Amino acid sequence: MSQSKHWVPDDVQLWRIISSPIGPILVVVSEVGVQHIDFLDETKAQSLLLTASEPLHPILQQTLHQLSEYFVGSRAEFELPLDLGGTDFQREAWLALARIPFGRTATYAEQAASIGRPRAVRAIGVANSKNPVAIVLPCHRVIGADGSLTGYAGGIDKKKWLLDHERSR
């Protein structure tokens, strides 16, 4: 996840917390695109819940709609503008995640090779751990060379749930 984890803008039109089968999720957008999709624990979610019903920014509306479709099983690919920070390498690694097909997995080595950097396996792992847009940029689809469910900033239980959800469709 991102270095600025759980930061939210002052403008409540640009963020929301949604319920999902794997717990509360914070969605933050800018005027340009999606900036963060982070898993929250229940305590943090309660401290951020909104009481006002401000109109939503169109990018936020679109993001919430597509996430809802994903969780009910009617969406396999996201079509959202992104507003990613990070280094050039991180953005390259993150965008490579979107090319891993729905319901499939790739190893860190395969992800590194896909961006023309086959020796950057560890750097890929570090970049994935800072992925600011969980689910949309599906770092949950990256597994260890031995097929194990290794490292996931949201927790291995969420990674397993997401992979099982996709495989069941």
Question: Where residue 137 sits, what CATH number does that domain have?
Answer: 1.10.10.10
Nearest to 93 by CA among 146, 40, 142: 142
In a domain, 115, yes or no: yes
| pLDDT beyond 80 at 3 | no
* pLDDT recorded at residue 1: 40
Residues 58 and 96 in one domain: no
Residues 99 and 126 in one domain: yes
* pLDDT recorded at residue 41: 83
Residues 66 and 92 in one domain: no
As annotated, the active-site residues are: 139
In a domain, 132, yes or no: yes
| pLDDT beyond 80 at 73 | yes
Query: Mean per-residue pLDDT for 90-110?
Result: 97
Residues 115 and 162 in one domain: yes
Residues 62 and 119 in one domain: no
Q: Six-digit token pair at 93? A: 């690694």
* pLDDT recorded at residue 4: 42
Residues 100 and 127 in one domain: yes
| Residues contacting residue 52 through CB under 8 Å, at least 6 positions apart | 12
Residues 94 and 163 in one domain: yes
Query: Mean per-residue pLDDT for 32-60?
Result: 82
| pLDDT beyond 60 at 52 | no
Domain count, the chain: 2
Residues 26 and 62 in one domain: yes
Residues 100 and 147 in one domain: yes
In a domain, 160, yes or no: yes
* pLDDT recorded at residue 50: 62
Q: How many other CB atoms sit within 10 Å of the CB of residue 152?
A: 23
Choice among 12-26, 38-52, 109-123, 126-140 with the minimum mean pLDDT? 38-52
pTM of the model: 0.89
* pLDDT recorded at residue 57: 93
Confidence of residue 5 (pLDDT cuts 50, 70, 90): low
In a domain, 81, yes or no: no
From CA 60, how far away is CA 14, in angstroms rounded? 6
- Domain range enclosing 159: 88-167
Q: Six-digit token pair at 163? A: 């992979």
* pLDDT recorded at residue 7: 63
